[in-house]
Structure 1
Amino acid sequence: MPTTQERHALAFLTGLALVAVGVRVAGVHRFEADVVAGHGGQAPPASLADRALAAQAAAVDSAARAPRRSRASPRPPSSRKANVPKLPKTPASPRPSAPVNVNTATAQELERLPRVGPALARRIVEWREQHGPFSAPDDLRHVRGIGPSTVRLLDTLVTFSGRHSPLDGKGPPSPTRHFRSAY
């Protein structure tokens, strides 16, 4: 037989559970009323596919109500863009006809290489001055902004101290490494 305190605790927990159920039911009804009101008085779609279709239809309806812009008419200039002077277009720098020696080239000569702009050319020269000459294409990866794809692109377009890159096939073959087996 439960004690008086146990009966009071059980009654309290039962009451708390009933209040929670009542709040939940009232909240669900309130939510359903809001959803129905949001759908123009119609019942909301039941399945996920129906809800997605309804959202798509609402997006199309809102796009249809939006004013149309003609492609022929120019956009009105914004105040921010109106004050910016237009810079003259510079012609694209031609690809170098001969490989560029990365260890002796100036920043302007390096800019003729694809994907190498003024900032990257300056970083290449600064790295070379701080750390010494480059000896292979992979050494270029030490420069911030040069990754593997840029190294592959530049591989046939650059040389290192007068000799061609080992991967372009014109220079001497690279030395073969021999590994001793542990077995």
Structure 2
Amino acid sequence: MQKIFVILAVLLGFNFSVLAGVDINTASQADLESVKGLGPVKAKAIIEYRNTHGMFKSAEELTNVKGIGAGTLKYLGDQVSVQEENTSTEKTTP
């Protein structure tokens, strides 16, 4: 019985992470290319923008990336996301 519970917990956790979409702050080129509507050129542009300007605060900031407009953003919908823990700017001191 305990094994079934563990398996269900793992599967449910996996499903929730899929529902969140690809995190544009941590996604690799291949991860971004797996998103329907993003090819190699746009995926590379997202990574270059991220490397130059820092982490995205919201998925809507993708419209700042060359080649991605409001229409593309709408098409991408929930396929892309920005995880909250990646947007924190607070620094902790030991």
- Give the structure-1-normalised TM-score: 0.34
Structure 2: state its 5+ residue gaps: 1-16, 86-94
SS of structure 1 residue aligned to 2:47: helix
Alpha-carbon separation, structure 2, partners of 1:136 and 1:154: 13
User: In the TM superposition, what is the alpha-carbon distance from 1:162 to its structure 2 partner?
Assistant: 4.5
Report the residue type matching 2:50 in the other structure. Answer: R
Structure 1: state its 5+ residue gaps: 1-96, 164-183
Give the alignment of 1:120-131 within 5 angstroms. Answer: 120-131=42-53
Cα-to-partner distance string for 1:97-144 (whole Å, 9 max, x where unaligned): 811000000011000111211111011000000000111122001111
**Which among 24, 27, 30 is matched to residue 105 of structure 1?**
27
User: In the TM superposition, what is the alpha-carbon distance from 1:155 to its structure 2 partner?
Assistant: 2.6
Number of the residue aligned with 2:36 = 114
Give the % identical residues. Answer: 36
Alpha-carbon separation, structure 2, partners of 1:133 and 1:156: 18
Is the counterpart of residue 159 in structure 1 residue 81 in structure 2?
A: yes
Report the residue type matching 1:139 in the other structure. Answer: E
Report the residue type matching 2:31 in the other structure. Answer: E
Number of the residue aligned with 1:141 = 63
User: In the TM superposition, what is the alpha-carbon distance from 1:149 to its structure 2 partner?
Assistant: 1.1
Cα-to-partner distance string for 1:65-103 (whole Å, 9 max, x where unaligned): xxxxxxxxxxxxxxxxxxxxxxxxxxxxxxxx8110000
How many corresponding residue pairs? 67
- Give the structure-2-normalised TM-score: 0.65
SS of structure 2 residue aligned to 1:155: helix
Alpha-carbon separation, structure 2, partners of 1:151 and 1:104: 18
Alpha-carbon separation, structure 2, partners of 1:117 and 1:157: 14
Moved over 6 A (4+): none
